Each structure stands twice: as structure tokens, then as C-alpha cells.
Structure 1
Amino acid sequence: GMPVLIAATGGTARHSLVLDHALRPLFAHLRAVVVPTGVYAASEDWGAEGLDERIERAGGELAALMTGIARVPEHAGRSPEPVPFDQLLAALNQLPVRTQALPATEL
């Protein structure tokens, strides 16, 4: 999928929840590769300390994904095919069995 950087601005910090609870799942559904760092800036964040560092970190993550996009396989981000239950059970039978004597109890 295509790399995406999620960024938004809004009136209060409470609106920042939209990044992780609405936009990130939406882009994941669309098979986009979302950078880990989302950037949200409330009104009081403009010019405040830390905003430029978050922007630089997110931009660096996006740049790293963009330069490596040719190496991202098409199936990245997709769930693997489920393993049939009988194969899971057969694999359990292949595990070494550790036996341990249990103490006898009197009823």
C-alpha cells in the first residue's frame, strides 16, 4: 500500500482521538501503510514546544517509507491465510511431551 502520514488540526486536544480511532483504521482498511507518528495540533499547539519535533519525526518516518516503497511487498499489511484446525492439531502432536509424576493425593 501507499505510505500515509495522518495529520490534523482542531479546536481542542480532545479532537486528536480522531487520528487513531477513525482515520488510522480507515487507511488500514484501504491497505495504506500509515506511519506510526500521527500529528495533531490543537489551537494552543501552534507555536508551542514539541509540535515541530512531532512533525519532523512523522515526516522522517514517511520519507523512510517512501524511499523503501519498492521493497514493500504487495501482501504487506494483509492477514496471513488461516491455518486449518487439523493442521494445528497435527503440529501439537509433533511437540515433545514432558511427563512429570504428580503427587498422589488422598481423598
Structure 2
Amino acid sequence: MEPLKLVVVSAGLSRPSSTRLLADRLTEATGKHLDGESRTADVRVVELRGLATDIANNFVTGFPAAALREAIEAVSEADGIIAVTPIFTASYSGLFKSFFDVIDNTALAGKPALIAATGGTARHSLALEHALRPLFVYLRALVVPTAVFAASEDWGGGDAHTDGLAARVDRAAGELAELMLSRPRAPEPPAAVTPSEQQLAALRLD
């Protein structure tokens, strides 16, 4: 069988990034669950930090640069998505939202998605249910029941915190793997980016 396409979107801004670290742990756990069912995953990581300028330019010009186009196509063709953002002011980051704004709003329809976030305090965990889940429901993704939040204390706050995060990661990864395995492979989706010729024609009509 062909490997399942797993695309990981990380909106971490720093290096090293706790957001990327959480994304990596979720990716590894999902791979283990798929391997347990004798399936493999072809993993593509999309680091939004390196696409920030291209995303901003796309809003102004309407034309994605090559790197951004490749990222959009990867998400649109994925069998499963892991999306991780830092939490700023009780919501996802502007960069995270901007990336999903430039994707066609039908591209995620029916795709299994795991949402996760990082923040300085556990109080920000509510943003997963108040901001991230509604966003992906609007995009008609199949969002797994378990969302994963990692606060600063989860990385070095003792065994109880570390074990708790590991359990949440494993549970969410198992849910994502199950949805990916049960979802029928759909035919190739329509292009998520409008071809340049069509965009130019639309401009001439305006």
C-alpha cells in the first residue's frame, strides 16, 4: 500500500520552538499508531515561520510564491493534518490564521485533523475549543475529539506533567490515525490555488 500523506503545520516562531517540539511528538506518536496497523506515513512538515513573507505577499498580489504554493498543495492533498500554533492573546497566532486563509475553503473538507497549541500557562488551553476547533469545523475538517495543549510546565514541571502530556499526545495521535485509516482515499482534489490565467481573466473582468 502507498504511505498515507501526513502534513504537519507548525506556526512556531522561535528556534528551538516548543510548538515544533509538540508537533514532532504528535507526528511520532501518529506514526507509531499507523505502524501498529501495518501502515506508514509520508510526513511533510510545513514551517510557517519561513513562509511569513510569502503569505503576506499573497494577500496583496493574489499570487502564491513557489514555496507557499507547494505548502498549500501538500495540505490540500493530505490524508491527515496536524496543526499546531502558539497561543497569543487567547487565540491562535496571526500567522497560523493567515496560512489557512490563503487555502481554498473547501480544501480541508472531510480531512482528519488534529489540533494542538502551546502557551505559557494552562489557562490558554481554552483557546483550543474557543478558537482552533471552530476554525477547523468551519473548514469542514474532521477534527479528532482530543485536542492537545502544552504549557511551559508540561516540558519541565515534573513527572506528573510530563506523563500527562504524553498521555494526551498518544490519545490524540491514536484518534487521528484511526480516522486516517478509515477514510477512503478520495480522487485528487481540485487545485487549491487558482491558476494564474484564471486570476488574470478575473481581473480583466473587474
Counterpart of 2:113 in structure 1 is 4
The Cα of 1:9 is off from its aligned counterpart by 0.6
Q: Residue 4 of structure 1: SS of its match in structure 2?
A: strand
Identity, in percent, stands at: 70
Can you list the C-alpha shifts for 1:17-49, whole angstroms capped at 9, x where unaligned?
Answer: 110000101100100000000000000011522
Q: List gaps (5 residues or longer) in structure 1.
A: 72-107
- Runs (4 or more) in structure 1 with deviation over 3 Å come to none
Residues paired across the two proteins, number = 72
More strand by share: 2
Which structure has the bigger radius of gyration? 1
Q: Residue 150 of structure 2: SS of its match in structure 1?
A: strand
TM-score where L is the length of structure 2:
0.34
Q: Equivalences for 1:1-107 in 2 at 5 Å?
A: 1-47=110-156, 48-70=162-184
Q: List gaps (5 residues or longer) in structure 2.
A: 1-109, 157-161, 186-206
Q: Residue 6 of structure 1: SS of its match in structure 2?
A: strand
Measure the CA separation in 1 of the matches of 2:122 and 2:134.
Answer: 20
Can you list the C-alpha shifts for 1:34-83, whole angstroms capped at 9, x where unaligned?
Answer: 00000000000115221101000000000000001118xxxxxxxxxxxx
Tell which has more relative contact order, 1 or 2 (C-alpha 8 A, sep 6+). 1
